[in-house]
């Protein structure tokens, strides 16, 4: 018990009148503005697997002497079931963190989160030299700290731990540069989320230098200051295992035709809301997921033989002729475009299609137009907006009618199909009649009646 309090106290103890509340169903314990006189309430957090500390200032503990732990304290830490620790709205002296972090090696904490925290001062992290921690996921959201540049040497004391980290989230923290040497410490990192920062094209190349993040599979650069698709391709060339890339919400330009080839490992690319008015080339050849929603695309010239998911909602596309180049499609979103027709003979070829959304388009409900969508709906693969948001814009007599309600009976839509058999029938009757007349003259009335009936 004392051990737990020892560990949590310098991190969680802050002035105020707060206390900890445990939710047993969620196994989650939330402490707000913990005060010295209510610190006992930390004890009720002991059975929790998630413990959160919100609010306060740890600065007055920065100089607290923290020696080695007693064996009983270590036993206690080892018996804790805490898997995730969250620190929010706190001022965290880096010096204090550097000294306390090593005690995490006695716990089973796998995920460490700092949200809306300010790291103050700086440390050489010497206490962490050669120290491994069970923490595999580190999340930092809306944090501030002294710039990373120039502190590479200090961070190298964290090499052992950072080298075992699997997932790093560093979002909304005004990051504009990530030194090359820092990236090299994350030698087994699989997933890196740098969304909502200030990374520009130039900073990107430096961050992903030779040897940085060598095992990275998923990278998000959503909402940064990237401008060049070609530049991003060039900067990420040294990530040999990259599978998922999110560069949505940047203002990208196609630039000049580029010779940069994406790595073959890339399976998923998110280009949504990037201001595109044409498709950027070249696209990674083995893509399975491509999101180009919320752009200004009018036409789409792609040919991606492995593509399974294509998201194109909120563009200005007028037709779907590109579908014939994506035979493996399973998921297709086309909501809010300018598409007037979804031809059944194109859709029919997509044998793996299982999820389609195409609401909010100005459909032409002439027979073939409405028919294609109705047949698609009949397969059961059309999303929840069917039939409500599938509305005809033309021809005039169907304006604002639901596509579902357009009659595509054979008689109305394919008069040739009905009229031709009727003509044939009439012709046969005429012939039969003529034969009858002829036969009557030869006095063979009975046979004649039978022939007429047969026709
Ligand atoms: C615990 O969390 C569950 C699920 O979020 C919630 O329904 C319940 O009301 C919480 N219990 C308490 C005592 O807050
Ligand atoms: C970000 O953190 C600061 C404190 O560092 C806080 O004042 C602010 O409200 C936070 N912003 C958001 C969006 O959470
Ligand atoms: C992208 O461009 C739009 C309009 O051109 C602008 O409003 C927005 O701030 C830009 N975003 C970034 C991240 O530069
Ligand atoms: C692409 O990014 C946007 C946010 O910019 C997100 O809403 C969307 O879900 C992402 N697409 C995929 C396929 O993950
Ligand atoms: C609607 O489709 C019909 C038949 O394909 C065509 O004749 C007509 O011009 C189309 N109308 C519009 C407004 O595109």
Closest Cα to atom 4 of ligand 3: 251
Query: Is 282 a member of any domain?
Result: no
* 124 and 181 fall within a common domain: no
* 374 and 257 fall within a common domain: no
* 153 and 180 fall within a common domain: no
* 388 and 294 fall within a common domain: yes
The response to whether residue 142 sits with its C-beta less than 6 Å from ligand 2 reads yes
CB 50 within 8 A of CB 29: yes
User: Tell me, what's the pLDDT at 426?
Assistant: 62
* φ and ψ of 9, to 5 deg: -60, -55
Query: Is 448 a member of any domain?
Result: no
* 7 and 148 fall within a common domain: yes
Alpha carbon 164 to chain centroid, angstroms:
25
User: Tell me, what's the pLDDT at 66?
Assistant: 72
Q: Give which of 46, 47, 40 is closest to 19, Cα–Cα.
A: 40
* Beta bridge partner(s), residue 115: 88, 141
* 104 and 194 fall within a common domain: no
Query: Is 434 a member of any domain?
Result: no
How far is the C-alpha of 223 from the C-alpha of 171, rounded, in Å?
10
User: Tell me, what's the pLDDT at 256?
Assistant: 64
Query: Is 292 a member of any domain?
Result: yes
Q: Where a domain ends, among 165, 189, 208?
A: 165
Give the number of domains in the chain.
3
Query: Is 435 a member of any domain?
Result: no
The response to whether residue 246 sits with its C-beta less than 6 Å from ligand 4 reads yes
Q: What is the CA(291)–ligand 4 centre distance, in A?
A: 7
Whole-angstrom CA distances from 414 to 341, 409, 417, 420 are: 18, 8, 5, 11
The atom of ligand 3 lying closest to the CA of 249 is 13
What is the residue-wise DSSP string for 72-89?
A: HHHHHHHH----EEEEEE
* 70 and 101 fall within a common domain: yes
* 130 and 243 fall within a common domain: no
* 17 and 156 fall within a common domain: yes
Query: Is 272 a member of any domain?
Result: no
The response to whether residue 446 sits with its C-beta less than 6 Å from ligand 1 reads no
Ligand 2 probe mutation, 116, 170, 173, most atoms within 8 A of CB: 116
Kindly indicate the confidence band of residue 148, based on its pLDDT and cuts at 50, 70 and 90. confident
* 239 and 326 fall within a common domain: no
The response to whether residue 218 sits with its C-beta less than 6 Å from ligand 4 reads no
User: Tell me, what's the pLDDT at 388?
Assistant: 93
* 148 and 236 fall within a common domain: no
The response to whether residue 110 sits with its C-beta less than 6 Å from ligand 5 reads no
Contacts of 231 (CB under 8 A, 6+ apart): 201, 204, 205, 255
pLDDT tens digit string along 285-316?
A: 999 999 999 999 999 999 999 999 999 999 99
Q: Beta-carbon neighbour count of residue 175 at 10 Å?
A: 21
Q: In the predicted model, what is the mean pLDDT of residues 397-403?
A: 91
For CA atoms 254, 255, 256, 259, the dihedral sign is negative
Report the CATH number that the domain containing residue 344 is assigned in CATH. Answer: 3.80.10.10
pLDDT tens digit string along 209-248?
A: 999 999 999 999 999 999 999 999 999 999 999 999 999 9
How far is the C-alpha of 413 from the C-alpha of 336, rounded, in Å?
27
Q: What is the CA(428)–ligand 2 centre distance, in A?
A: 86
The response to whether residue 116 sits with its C-beta less than 6 Å from ligand 2 reads yes
Instruction: Answer with the residue of higher pLDDT: 46 or 272.
Output: 272
Q: What is the CA(26)–ligand 1 centre distance, in A?
A: 7
The atom of ligand 5 lying closest to the CA of 393 is 13
The atom of ligand 2 lying closest to the CA of 142 is 1
* Beta bridge partner(s), residue 357: 333
The response to whether residue 41 sits with its C-beta less than 6 Å from ligand 5 reads no
pLDDT at 444 over 80: no
pLDDT tens digit string along 34-89?
A: 666 666 778 888 889 999 999 866 776 766 667 777 888 888 889 889 999 999 99
* 63 and 123 fall within a common domain: yes
pLDDT at 2 over 70: no
The response to whether residue 24 sits with its C-beta less than 6 Å from ligand 1 reads no
| Structural domain for 123, as ranges | 1-165
pLDDT at 413 over 90: no
Q: Where a domain ends, among 267, 301, 334?
A: 267
Query: Is 454 a member of any domain?
Result: no
Please tell me the pTM assigned to this model: 0.86
Q: Where a domain ends, among 113, 146, 165?
A: 165
Query: Is 226 a member of any domain?
Result: yes
């Amino acid at each position: 018990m004392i051990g737990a309090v020892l560990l949590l106290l310098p991190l969680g103890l802050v002035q105020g009148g707060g206390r900890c509340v445990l939710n047993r169903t969620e196994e989650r314990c939330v402490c707000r503005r913990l005060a010295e006189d209510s610190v006992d309430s930390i004890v009720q957090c002991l059975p929790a697997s998630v413990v959160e500390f919100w609010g306060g200032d740890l600065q007055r503990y920065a100089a607290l002497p923290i020696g080695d732990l007693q064996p009983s304290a270590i036993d206690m830490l080892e018996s804790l079931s805490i898997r995730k620790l969250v620190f929010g709205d706190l001022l965290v002296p880096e010096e204090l963190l550097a000294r306390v972090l090593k005690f995490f090696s006695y716990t089973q904490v796998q995920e460490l989160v700092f949200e809306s925290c300010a790291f103050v001062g700086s440390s050489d992290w010497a206490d962490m030299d050669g120290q491994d921690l069970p923490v595999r996921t580190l999340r930092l959201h809306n944090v501030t700290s002294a710039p990373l540049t120039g502190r590479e040497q200090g961070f190298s004391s964290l090499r052992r731990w950072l080298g075992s980290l699997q997932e790093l989230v560093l979002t909304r923290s005004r990051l504009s540069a990530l030194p090359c040497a820092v990236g090299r410490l994350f030698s087994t990192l699989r997933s890196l989320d740098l969304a909502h920062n200030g990374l520009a094209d130039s900073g990107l190349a430096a961050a992903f230098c030779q040897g940085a993040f060598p095992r990275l599979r998923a990278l998000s650069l959503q909402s940064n200051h990237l401008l060049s698709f070609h530049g991003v391709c060039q900067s990420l060339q040294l990530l040999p295992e990259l599978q998922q890339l999110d560069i949505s919400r940047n203002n990208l330009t196609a630039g000049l035709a580029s010779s940069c080839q994406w790595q073959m490992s890339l399976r998923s690319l998110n280009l949504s809301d990037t201001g595109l008015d044409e498709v950027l080339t070249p696209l990674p050849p083995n893509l399975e997921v491509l999101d180009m929603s919320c752009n200004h695309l009018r036409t789409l010239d792609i040919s991606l033989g492995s593509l399974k998911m294509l998201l194109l909602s909120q563009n200005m596309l007028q037709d779907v002729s590109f579908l014939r180049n994506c035979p493996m499609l399973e998921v297709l979103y086309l909501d809010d475009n300018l598409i007037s027709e979804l031809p059944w003979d194109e859709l029919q070829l997509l044998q793996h299609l299982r999820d389609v959304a195409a609401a909010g388009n100005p459909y032409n409900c002439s027979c073939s137009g409405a028919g294609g969508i109705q047949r698609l709906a009949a397969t059961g693969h059309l999303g929840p907006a069917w039939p409500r948001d599938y509305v005809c814009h033309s021809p005039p007599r169907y304006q604002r009618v639901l596509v579902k309600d357009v009659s595509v009976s054979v008689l109305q839509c394919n008069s040739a199909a009905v009229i031709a058999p009727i003509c044939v029938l009439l012709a046969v009757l005429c012939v039969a009649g003529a034969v009858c007349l002829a036969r009557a003259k030869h006095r063979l009335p009975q046979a004649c009646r039978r022939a007429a009936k047969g026709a």
